[in-house]
Amino acid sequence: MEDEHRYLFIDFEFTMPDRSSRFKGFYPEIIEAGVVAVRNDQVYEQFSSYISPIRFPILSDRCKSFLRISQQQVDQGISLYELVKKLKDVSNNYPCTIITWGNMDMRVLRNNCQHAGIPFPFKGKEIDLSMEYKRFFGDQNQTGLWKAVQEYGKEGTGKHHRALDDAMTTYNIFRLVEKDKRYLEKPEPTTIGDRVDFSKLLNKFA
């Protein structure tokens, strides 16, 4: 990781609709954010918060059940405006690479910003680590975040579908994949024949 270049590992949890007229015109909104900021291979900041949705402020039963997030938690959360400001502050105008597991996080953030009339907070490169993982291992299907970390013989950090835990798990997989890439890029080890001049060795014993 280059000096002063920052990597932001981000995970969001979103609202989910029930099948009802209350959710007509539904689009997913961010209700929990987790960010792990890394510089020089060191975590320098972590951020986690619930976010109050704007368009559909009342969570569906399906959403509360699946994510185990309560209405009270999002009601007491920060606004989307505060979240976007925090994301800008974490990158601190340095060059940064945004890394997520899957492409939904950035798509939903862009869509939420567009609906709220807020500028998108990032200018850096965006990497979908699940696609990098798929290409690297030649998998036909995209692997889920926690299945990927288990394939490395590890366990995810904390609880699945907790935004900060998933962001930290994404960072851990990134480190494992980068380590494997470096290992594969190493040149072939020299053979004993390369290291020993056999003609000199045979003359010595002649």
- Known catalytic residues are 13, 161
The crossing angle, in degrees rounded to 10, of helices 129-137 and 163-185 is 40
**Can you tell me the distance from the alpha carbon of 98 to that of 197, in angstroms, rounded to the nearest whole number?**
51
Which letter does DSSP use for residue 51 in this model?
B
**Buried-exposed string 184-201: b where 16+ CB fall within 10 A, e elsewhere:** eeeeeeeeeeeeeeeeee
- For residue 152, the SS3 value is coil
Beta strands in the chain (DSSP E): 6-14, 30-39, 42-50, 96-100, 125-128
| Neighbour-count burial of 33, counting CB atoms closer than 10 A to its CB (0-12 exposed, 13-18 middle, 19+ buried) | buried
| Neighbour-count burial of 141, counting CB atoms closer than 10 A to its CB (0-12 exposed, 13-18 middle, 19+ buried) | exposed
Closest Cα partner for 10 from 106, 76, 84?
106
